[in-house]
Structures are given as C-alpha cells and as structure tokens.
Amino acid sequence: MIIYTVTPDFRVLIESIERFKCVLHVLLSFAHVDRSFSTYLHAYRKKIGRIMADSGAYTEMQGGRVIDLNSYISWLGMVRPLFDYCINLDVEAENYDVRMWNLARIEGAGIDALPVVHDPYAGEIDQLYDMGYTYILIGSTWGNDRKQLDFIFDRYFYSGRYPGIRFHKLGSALYSTVAGYPFFSSDSATYAHDAGFGNILFWNDHREPGSDGDRTDTIYFGGRKRTMLNDEHIYYEYSYRGQLEDYLWKTFEYRLTDLLGPEATIKRRIVMVKYTLDLQERMTQLHGV
C-alpha cells in the first residue's frame, strides 16, 4: 500500500527522507502550494517517490479557498512533469455531471487526471471503469461508512469482474480505515494537523491490540487550548512512558521535552511521518497490496 504524506512544511519532507533513507510519497494540494513549495519541489524531486497533485476541492468544501478550474489547469500545465498523478476538481460532490465536465476539461488540456467517486451506488464506478479508468479515488465526503466500503470492495475488487481496478481513499489514512480494506493507496493531512495540535501517534507493541489489531496510542504534548480527547494520553501520565522514551530516543534521538509546545511542531510531524511509513508497511503486509 502507498500512503501519501501531506504536510504544510516541506522541511518535514526533506528531513524525513534524509533521516530515514526512505521513499516518501507526497500529496500536494493546489489550495496550499506556494512559490516555496515549487522551489523545493524542483530541487528535491529526485529524492521524492510518487507525487499526487490534489485540486484542493476539500479545502473549498470546508469553506476555505475557492478553487478556479482554469487556474488549476494552468498550474497543472506548468508543473505536470513533476507529478505522477493529478486529481479531478470535484467541489460539487453531489453533482456527477459537473465532476465529469471538470474531468473532461482537464484531460482536454492534455493532462491525465484521476476521477473521484462520491456515490458508488449510482453506478459511477461502473461507468468510469468502462471508460478505461482503473485507478479510482473514493471521495472523503463518502467512503467512511463500513456498509458502503463493503459494497465497493465486494462488487468491484473481490468479485474479479473488474480486473486491474485499484482504489485510493481520499482524506483518511487512519488504521481503522485502511486496515479493513485492500486500498491501493490513501492520504491524510490529519497526522500533520494533529502534530500541530500537540499530538503524536505511537505504535505500542507492549500492550494488547484492539479487536482490529491496532496498537496505536495518541500521546499529547501540549499546544492547544481545548479539552482532552477520550483516546489521548498526556505524555507525563502515560502508562508506557518508558517504552515511549526508548522509542523516541532510538528512532529520532528525541527526548520527551523535545516534543513539548508549539515550537516543537516540526519534530512531532517527523514522528508522524515515521508512523505513516511504518503503517504503510504494515498494510502492505496485511493486504499484500
């Protein structure tokens, strides 16, 4: 499985690649890319694995920047040699015709784009597959319902009637999502955002796993003003604090104090990148994909 890393700070990507000697796959959103990203991207492209260009549709749907299709196409034309894939602009999640029109506009500009499905029950996947699309993205506004995902994989993956089909889960790379289904790939900005809010994820081999095999613990180091979530552990009260300290030092040469406060966001994001790399390997072994 491939998990595309999403981070607002390119320094995190470069340091992670150099620190872990890894192939890091990256998703970059048109809604957030600036000149500095373009500069870094040209300079470090050979060190990065696959790059997926995202239209930023989710940002717009959340009330952020309005994405103009012509501007997106123009940007893709300038940077297309640097990307392996780009994603269709699907801001009107409920309007299949608009999404297909956007897809046709992008491809009419000579740029191959990946389609995004928002209603698998309406036959969208069948039509896209018949049109020759075998790499299909499941939209973040849908695809979180277990019954829906059961339908998608039972019909299109396990049945054998759609040879070569691959699915990408947009906007979610949580263990609870990717462990249950053989996605070819996924992405999530949640890990980077959570690091900004003071959290890291720690795969704790020293405790019993959950019913789905998950051993992920969320450790909070401070950095936000809100109540604690039910599944978070404050670092100084964590029952496996010694094991966490060993992991941080052996893997990163970080002490607990190195992860405290907003100034430590980059370090927490690097910890999250390593968690993502390890999760990617775990899912590949679990699903053989």
Last residue of a domain, one of 171, 188, 205: 188
Residues 14 and 33 grouped into a single domain: yes
Query: Alpha helix locations (H) across the chain?
Result: 10-20, 35-44, 57-61, 69-79, 96-108, 124-130, 146-152, 175-178, 190-196, 241-252, 265-287
CA 75, CA 72: separation in Å to the nearest integer? Answer: 5
Closest CA to 253 of 7, 97, 19: 19
In a domain, 242, yes or no: yes
Give the per-residue SS3 of 213-257: CCCEEEEECCCCCCCCCCCEEEHHHCCCHHHHHHHHHHHHCCCHH
What is the predicted pLDDT for the residue at 31? 75
The least confident of 110-119, 137-146, 215-224 is 137-146
In a domain, 95, yes or no: yes
Q: Which residues contact 130 (CB under 8 A, 6 or more apart)?
A: none
Residues 122 and 55 grouped into a single domain: yes
- Partners of residue 166 on adjacent β-strands: 135
Residues 179 and 89 grouped into a single domain: yes
Last residue of a domain, one of 129, 156, 188: 188
pLDDT tier at 193, thresholds 50, 70, 90: confident
Residues 220 and 178 grouped into a single domain: no
Higher pLDDT, 227 or 130: 130
Residues 58 and 149 grouped into a single domain: yes
DSSP, collapsed to helix, strand or coil, labels residue 202 as: strand
In a domain, 289, yes or no: no
- Partners of residue 3 on adjacent β-strands: 186
CA 275, CA 261: separation in Å to the nearest integer? Answer: 20
In a domain, 118, yes or no: yes
Residues 48 and 31 grouped into a single domain: yes
pLDDT tier at 262, thresholds 50, 70, 90: confident
Last residue of a domain, one of 165, 188, 211: 188
In a domain, 249, yes or no: yes
Joined together, the tokens standing for residue 133 give 């699309």
In a domain, 288, yes or no: no
Closest CA to 194 of 8, 61, 4: 8
Residue type, 144: N
Residues 23 and 127 grouped into a single domain: yes
- Partners of residue 217 on adjacent β-strands: 202
CA 134, CA 118: separation in Å to the nearest integer? Answer: 16
In a domain, 13, yes or no: yes
What is the predicted pLDDT for the residue at 154? 97
**Structural domain containing residue 105:** 2-188
Average pLDDT over residues 238-258: 97
Residues 71 and 173 grouped into a single domain: yes
pLDDT tier at 55, thresholds 50, 70, 90: confident
Total of domains in the chain: 2
Residues 182 and 233 grouped into a single domain: no
Residues 194, 265 contacting (CB under 8 angstroms): no
What is the predicted pLDDT for the residue at 215? 96
Residue 79 sits in a domain of what CATH number? 3.20.20.70
What is the predicted pLDDT for the residue at 47? 87
Residues 184, 167 contacting (CB under 8 angstroms): yes
What is the predicted pLDDT for the residue at 219? 95
Residues 50 and 165 grouped into a single domain: yes
Residues 116 and 210 grouped into a single domain: no
pLDDT tier at 192, thresholds 50, 70, 90: confident
Residues 119 and 64 grouped into a single domain: yes
pLDDT per residue as tens digits for the range 121-147:
989 999 999 999 999 999 865 556 788
Residues 220, 235 contacting (CB under 8 angstroms): yes
